[in-house]
Structure 1
Amino acid sequence: MAANALTGLLTVSLPSAPVGFRVAVQKTDNSPNLVNVVDDHSCPVACLSRWGDIAALEFDGTSWFRMPGGAIFDSGRNANGEFVKFANGRMECLHSDGPLMDTATMAFNIARSSAPSVWTFPSPFAPGTLPAVRGMAVNHTGRWINAYARSNSGAIFAQMGSTVSATLGEERLDASGWWLDPVLSPGTLTLLCMGQSNAWFQGTGGPWNISPNVSVWNCSNNILDLTALGNRWGRCRQGDDPFRLPDAGLHRNNFFAHAAHHLHMRTGKNVRIILVAANGMPIERWVNGNARADLYTRMQAVLSAAGVHFVDAMLWMQGEADDTSAGTYPDQFDEMLGFLDADKILSSLAPVVVGSVAPARANIKAVLESLPLTRPRVKCADVGSLTTIDGVHFAGSAAPAGGALFEANLATLMDLI
């Protein structure tokens, strides 16, 4: 099924079908347009807003029902093993009847190997995706499985051992990935990252092992006007814009760089970061009195300079400056999301992850952590318990763990886990 939502909204209606018939509907463009999938029973409408969003439905002879993400969409068995497809697009394959293997061949100078064998998956994974392939040797200590040369349709594997042995051993293999790719963008996800000093980051040190598949727009930060908007995409490098601070030579770490790294590792997609932040700025510098304020306007200008009109998700690390006025924060936060939707920067259902703050800002910490309770598209990364350098600003050593928390919450909202 293919259709266009050129006017901003597409409604997919399904005809009658045999009992047990299942269908998956997926949004396959990165426009801000929405796709509504309406069943005719008691389940809510599925609103697909992000590139790759999936809704699976099953017909019971009378009505179409939404299938929960963990429901089995399809399964089967053939000479290559067994497979199970889930309604959220995940697939698991199992191979437990492979060839018997020895470890009689030299490999890597330190190990012995069987002759390689090819496992063709019992059902192919989505084109362009690479499943995770794992294996174990059965009933043989000191042996393991090396799986390599993966594709969406199969992998090569060999049984390995630390000693030469002609004894034949069994193995068990499994592969996990996607039969429907939930991230169908042409290789790129774009994250809009905003906030105050903990978004820009203050702590130095800590690991910085960011994939070259993560890129950043080189705007400068801690600026409220429309200068230094950036002029190129580049690698994530400490000490360079957008992470650079005036104290040249101090290499700050960053939550968002690590979050983007983990997102790339999970999806295999390139990830782009646009970071707009300023020290000590309350949320009213983004929205104030039902109007877009200076940092919101700067964010729009940075996006324009970068040639970005629509982002996949937002990561938000802000609030310390609002601790004494925390009561008005939820309304201001909603106002900002409303502007992002109206300006077609972020769709109305796109994922938003906010970061908690250190316990020293107890009022706003409670508010930030409560935002997801009434906002299904929002999750809170509980970074507040991580190490700080002064009770407010997070240490460089905390950045990898904080980034992982941001990404795990984002992946949950994107139905990646």
Structure 2
Amino acid sequence: MSKRTLASAVTAFTACAMAFGPGMSHASAAGDPGPSTQKQSTAFMRSSAAKSSDSKAAYDRIVKKLPADWQQRRDNARKRLGIESSPVENMLKAKLAKASAGTTAQAIDPTQYQCSATKLDGYVDSILEPVDTFNLLFLQLVGGLDIPTYDALLLGKPNNPAYALPAAYAPSLMTTFGYAQRFWDVRLNDVQLMAMHGTVFQDVNRVTKVIEFMYGVGPADAVGIAKDIISMVDSDPALKGGDHPIFTLNAFAFTGKGDPDPVIRKIPDKMIFGDGILAALKAIGLNKVGPRAVLGHEMAHHVQYEDNLFDSPLTGAEATRRTELMADGFGTYFLTHKKGVALNPTQVLQAEESFYAVGDCSFDSDGHHGTPNQRRAAASWGAATVAFSNNPNKVMPSLTLAKKFDKALPVITAPDAPTSVNAYRSLVVK
């Protein structure tokens, strides 16, 4: 299994399942919950959007230019890059699943765990409310929500202004990024840091290149599809021409090393921040520490790539949860260590809250990243590993830290797992 990890920020979020995720094998990618592509198409075509002449015409024009297996190609493009669903997309999928009566078997028994909405869930609800629901379904169905992500992965370069980090965050993120590259005992100096922006929808050439990759269509058809998608975005004032958090509410780590696909293999290792995830952290009061916590988590995924830590006896949701919670623990270890960011106790609490906020309740998804309590528990374990170390000035080898984490995992994932730093003292000093 190649290791690209798309991390829903704070790696890979999910609104009902916000996930800091790596971009796996690409971006630490988790499974793709939700209904089948056929059910998605049926649900959309029965919706009021399909009854509107403009929406129906745009949809028909796009489908006419696509090959018969376009839905499979759309899904395969995600798999090639290992892309994980964003919070917004998971909410849309839930609506589609309800509309089409789609159900999936639950991977984890939800009755055994505390799992409730977080501030992040409320934020996502608030930004979706003004947007026309059927425009969202249209975009989700034709892959429009993936365009900024694909654009940054395939075309993004750190020295290109189109992928520059927002000015308000660049100094802090770049400084923390440099600390993280030097902190760990694996090679991280080849990782590129950049941003993804919804303003890609203002550039038909970039959208066209993404469509060519996604569907394997020729340039002429790709241009037509790109223009129709851009028109759909422009038709809804609430989407702000693409400059809306819905399109970039994610952050992820990516590596294509060792991938059998030469296109994927040549993509440099990346860490990508979306404008949407930064806006979300600010909106829920985690602007000072949250972005650095996300970065620590995403760099932990790159450590996992280098150490082959994605492999374990676990499968499905259990395997993804282990990987994500380990990244939470590693990220907090880096944030609290004297040779890392050296957060003070108050800031550590904010970091833990950042991980809590991106916990998810997607028990029926292979992409389940851990409940809010589990993510806070993993962060507390990371902080405890620093606080109760016999040698607080020494950075523990990453493989040693991983072994300690795996021993603590059953405690962290227990239904009644403690979430305070002190609660993990006995595990750390063993």
**Is TM > 0.5 for Structure 1 vs Structure 2?**
no
Higher share of residues assigned helix: 2
TM-score scaled to structure 2, two decimals? Answer: 0.25
Q: Which has the higher contact order (CA 8 A, sep 6+)?
A: 2
Provide TM-score, normalisation by structure 1.
Answer: 0.25
